[in-house]
Amino acid sequence: MPISVSRGKSLGRATLRATLLNAAAATGDGEWVQLGGFHPCTVHFDFTGVATIELDGHNSPTRPLDSDHGFVLNSTSTDNAIQISNPYEWVKARVTSFTSGTVSAWLVGNEAQ
């Protein structure tokens, strides 16, 4: 499941954009993305079929293994967006059940003030 992460600036604040899942078509783990001070963050979920995505968090000081699930922040089977308000160190999305179509998830965050 490919992942992309970019950091930049918008209106004088640092920003973080990450593709957590990109048209995933099977169950499996995503990759951990380090938030490291970026909050609040918004995660958008997009479904073209039937599946469930779980958004996991972790506060390890070092990058967890992708097979480590940490703790559940959210689980969804429908198009929606959620906000992560707490300052977690790491987040990842993973497909926990899959029947058809594809699923994607994107994260956008701002540097905490």
Mind listing the pLDDT tens digit for each residue in 85-105? 888 999 999 999 999 999 999
For 9-22, the pLDDT digits (tens) are: 877 778 899 999 99
Look at the chain and report how many structural domains it folds into. Answer: 1
CATH number at residue 82: 2.60.120.380
State the residue range of the domain holding 34.
4-111
Residue 36 pLDDT: 83
pLDDT reading at 6 higher than 60: yes
**pLDDT surpasses 50 at 70:** yes
The Cα–Cα gap between 19 and 2 comes to 8
| Structure tokens that stand for 73 in this block | 């922040």
For 36, the token pair is 């490291």
CB 20, CB 84: distance < 8 Å? no
In terms of phi and psi (left: phi > 0; alpha: psi -120 to 50; beta: otherwise), the region of 23 is: left
